[in-house]
């Protein structure tokens, strides 16, 4: 059981050593952005997630890093908002439904359109191939090829396969996000 002094110590340590990162989560509708933010924030997985209207802002603490996460809607009418919510962030997370290969061309078009904005140059990009629990999902190599990720030269790019349903690769994603803290 923590003593009074260890509690005070952790409180002080949190004050002086805490870091912050601002993250924007974008991607086509139903790729699993809100599920990702929910699982990250509270470990809560649900089949029934309401499609996001506009955006949600969520604050998530991981270790000594506080993440301010913009979960932006993915339906076509909301995609023009992505650029605004990516402005000034420490990282962009682009979520793809890796089991829905018919949407890869649209995902590539939207991703490259977004990162072509000059003021977003240099912002680290994390591409998540979500729904790896679904049979026939694309591998990381297939996603890298389909989304032309090797053509992106003006920023660090990472790509992981993951599943919000079974938390596959959640630990390395949290690690990646925490490293954006400053
Ligand atoms: N099988 C499986 N289903 C998932 C996974 N992640 C999300 N889903 C499901 O996919 C559907 C859409 O998830 P959301 O999190 O609402 O997707 P979104 O990207 O936020 O969608 P918008 O808000 O409309 O842009 C929901 O039915 C989720 O339960 C996953 O890892 N595996
Ligand atoms: Mg959503």
Query: What is the CATH number for 60?
Result: 3.40.50.300
Q: What residues make up the domain containing 67?
A: 18-178
Count: domains in the chain: 1
Residue nearest to atom 1 of ligand 1 (CA): 131
Between the CA of 33 and the centroid of ligand 2 the distance, in Å, is: 5
Q: Which has the minimum average pLDDT: 3-7, 47-51, 82-86?
A: 3-7
C-alpha 13 – ligand 2 centre gap (Å): 34
Residue 93 parent element (H or E): strand 91-97
Instruction: Give residue 181's pLDDT.
Output: 93
Distances in whole angstroms, Cα of residue 139 to Cα of each of 55, 134, 170:
29, 12, 16
111 pLDDT more than 90: yes
At 26-73, the pLDDT tens digits run 999 999 999 999 999 999 899 999 999 999 999 999 989 999 999 999
Residue 107 lies in a domain: yes
Binding-site positions for Mg(2+): 34, 52
Phi, psi dihedral angles at 149 (to 5 degrees): -70, -25
pTM of the model: 0.93
Sheet bearing 157-161, strands edge to edge: 55-62, 65-72, 19-26, 91-97, 125-130, 157-161
Average pLDDT of every residue of the chain? 95
Whether 33 is covered by a domain: the verdict is yes
Whether the CB-CB separation of 92 and 26 falls below 8 Å is answered with yes
């Amino acid at each position: 059981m923590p003593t009074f002094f260890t509690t005070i110590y952790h409180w002080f340590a949190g004050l002086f050593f805490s870091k912050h990162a601002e993250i924007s989560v974008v991607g086509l509708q139903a790729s699993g952005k809100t599920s990702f933010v929910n699982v990250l924030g509270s470990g809560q997985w649900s089949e029934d997630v309401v499609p996001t209207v506009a955006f949600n802002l969520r604050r998530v603490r991981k270790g000594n890093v506080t993440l301010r996460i913009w979960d932006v809607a993915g339906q076509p009418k909301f995609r023009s908002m992505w650029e605004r919510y990516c402005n000034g962030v420490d990282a962009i997370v682009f979520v793809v439904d890796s089991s829905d290969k018919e949407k890869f061309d649209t995902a590539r078009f939207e991703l490259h359109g977004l990162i072509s904005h000059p003021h977003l140059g240099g912002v680290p990009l994390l591409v998540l191939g979500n729904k790896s629990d679904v049979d026939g999902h694309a591998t990381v190599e297939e996603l890298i090829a389909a989304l032309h990720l090797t053509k992106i030269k003006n920023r660090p790019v990472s790509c992981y396969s993951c599943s919000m349903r079974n938390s596959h690769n959640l630990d390395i994603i949290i690690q990646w996000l925490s490293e954006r803290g400053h």
